[in-house]
Amino acid sequence: MEYILTKSEMQQCDQRTSAYFRMPSVVLMERAAVATVEEIEKRTAVTGRKILIVAGSGNNGGDGIAMGRILAQHQGHVTVCFVGDREKATESTRLQLEIYEKYGYELTDNIPKDEYDIIIDALFGIGLNRDLQDAVRKIVDQMNEQKGLRVAVDIPSGVCADTGSILGAAFRADLTVTFAYKKRGQIFYPGTEYCGTLICKDMGITGESFLSEYPQMYSYQPDDIERLLPKRKKAGNKGSFGKVLMIAGSVNMSGACTLAGLSAYRTGTGLIRIVTPAKNRTILQKKLPEAVLQTYHIPLRDAESEMIADSIQWADTLLIGPGIGQDETAMTLVHKVLHTVMNRTDKKMIMDADALNILAQEEALKELFSYRDQHSIPIIMTPHLGEFARLVGKDISTIKRDMVHVAMEYAREYKVTLVCKDARTLCTDGEKVYINQSGNDGMATAGSGDVLSGIITALAAQGMKVQEAACLGVYLHGCAGERASIDGNTYSVMARDIIKKLGKIR
């Protein structure tokens, strides 16, 4: 697991390292400079190369000036352009300026017209919180016009460290070297695209500097999988690994329940019942013979309604929504399920796709959610941004400007675990936030969301808490998507390819 920090969380870590642990700021600066130079030299020769460093008056600029000295001593032809007021520079940056000049190196206050092999952005770092002014935008444009290796120190200037939004304009790096921990703006789009290859390096700030106040956002890495996966009982039976009820599919929409069921079985659940229209029976018996089918007619008959209620009592985890449509029968199903399970603390429920669209348009269901008992059934909701926009009554662009805040607020209000699906999917219970870094654009394909809902459902059925099941499910889904694209490319990935790779990611 790795923490992903906000600007203020990182600044607090930095301050505590110096103030509480007495690590001098200039020592941290030197280590950051050495670490960045190391990464540059892994990628290109420095000796004899023309190198441009644009440095500001903050500590990020001090990192860049220290790099200029080191690169010059490595026989690079270095030009350091210092942008800013020397009198307003931080104490450590003023010291770096003095050291640089003591060694006989010169500074300039504008970028000489030349072509450079390496261009290093050390203008602002994570502290920028406003749009770039015209004069600085011009400098950033000049840097972006260079054809050499473009390197950002900590974060490209112009990228918001908290949201990844672009503050008017931004440096487009081929390589970004950040320190201690990744920042949110380096993970969210579009900021992540401006970072190029992102490398996180040690520079002396460690987890001790949290002083037990841990960051809100975290992410998983490959070595987390074995630790997090539910343990298998050697003497278990199919009932030991979760009984899942899936209310999914509609006439001419059997694919959603097929994909959700397949992915749940591939993730380890023991037994699945699928409630679906009678016209899907033959298709599902051929595609997913391992599932138990309980079919209904349209309109829903009283006996079938009772059958669904009995199945809810049988299951320990429910999934409702994939492919059910939004007609009167689908609305009846959602109403019945919610009223049946709302006060059952021994159940877990995942709401996906059309169940969420029905919830968004039905005032009675919204009211039911809003006033349900705090200790009632644990619920996971898995909307993509369009569905989430309907749930919260906001447009997508507004949500994207501060997705973390909007998602956490919704999860707290309705006491759910929210999986907000996007290029960087968020999972939150209103307290902590998981941000997913696995996966690729090949997963933007029909049925991929049904696969995810099946994975999450299976993990919850095997005993995982809903927040943990949601986070691990999203991560595994992305890892399987990455493996699926290895066999071909991101153009050719289909939902069934993701399912095939679920068993290959441990």
pLDDT tens sequence across 229-261: 999 999 999 999 999 999 999 999 999 999 999
Q: What is the pLDDT of residue 376?
A: 78
β-bridge partners, 177: 153, 199
Q: What is the pLDDT of residue 225?
A: 96
Contact 328, 298 (CB under 8 A): no
Contact 162, 43 (CB under 8 A): no
Rounded to an integer, what distance in angstroms lies between the CA atom of residue 217 and that of residue 402?
A: 14
Mean pLDDT of 380-407: 96
Rounded to an integer, what distance in angstroms lies between the CA atom of residue 180 and that of residue 271?
A: 44
Q: What is the pLDDT of residue 68?
A: 98
Query: What does the domain layout of the chain look like in residue ranges?
Result: 2-218, 241-504
β-bridge partners, 416: none
- 401-439 burial, b if ≥16 CB within 10 A, otherwise e? eebbebbbebbeebbbbbbbbbebbbbbbbeebbbbbbb
Cα dihedral 125, 131, 132, 138 sign: positive
Task: Please determine, for residue 214, whether its predicted confidence score (pLDDT) is greater than 90.
Answer: yes
DSSP states of 431-491 as a string? Answer: S-EEE-----GGG-STTHHHHHHHHHHHHHHTT--HHHHHHHHHHHHHHHHHHHHHSS-TT
- Phi and psi at residue 463, to the nearest 5°: 105, 0
Q: What is the pLDDT of residue 326?
A: 96
**The tokens 């348009």 sit on which residue?**
361
Q: What is the pLDDT of residue 374?
A: 60
Q: How many CA atoms lie within 13 A of 210 on its CB side?
A: 13
Q: Band the pLDDT of 200: cuts 50, 70, 90.
A: very high
* Nearest in space to 14 (alpha carbons), one of 56, 60, 57: 60
Rounded to an integer, what distance in angstroms lies between the CA atom of residue 414 and that of residue 367?
A: 10
β-bridge partners, 250: 253
Specify the CATH superfamily of domain 2-218: YjeF N-terminal domain (3.40.50.10260)
Strands of 375-416, DSSP E: 379-382
Q: What is the pLDDT of residue 419?
A: 98
Name residue 236's amino acid. G
Assign domain 241-504 to its CATH architecture: 3-Layer(aba) Sandwich (3.40)
Mean pLDDT of 392-404: 94
Q: What is the pLDDT of residue 461?
A: 97
Q: Band the pLDDT of 375: cuts 50, 70, 90.
A: low
Q: What is the pLDDT of residue 339?
A: 87
Compare 506 and 19 and report the one with higher pLDDT: 19
Reported as a single tens digit per residue, the pLDDT across 249-296 is 999 999 999 999 999 999 999 999 999 999 999 999 999 999 999 999
Q: Which helix (H) or strand (E) holds 226?
A: helix 225-228
Task: Provide CB contacts within 8 A for 200, sequence distance 6+.
Answer: 178, 179, 180, 181, 182
Reported as a single tens digit per residue, the pLDDT across 406-422 is 999 999 999 999 999 99
Task: Please determine, for residue 189, whether its predicted confidence score (pLDDT) is greater than 70.
Answer: yes
Task: Please determine, for residue 18, whether its predicted confidence score (pLDDT) is greater than 90.
Answer: yes
Which own/partner pairs from 132-138 qualify as long-range (CB within 8 Å, at least 24 positions apart)?
Answer: 132/157, 132/158, 132/167, 132/168, 132/169, 132/170, 136/83, 137/168, 137/169
Strands of 321-443, DSSP E: 348-352, 379-382, 417-420, 426-428, 433-435
Reported as a single tens digit per residue, the pLDDT across 298-318 is 999 989 999 999 999 999 999
**DSSP strand pairing (175-179 vs 317-320):** unpaired
Reported as a single tens digit per residue, the pLDDT across 130-172 is 999 999 999 999 999 999 999 999 999 999 999 999 999 999 9
Q: What is the pLDDT of residue 8?
A: 97
Task: Please determine, for residue 498, whether its predicted confidence score (pLDDT) is greater than 80.
Answer: yes
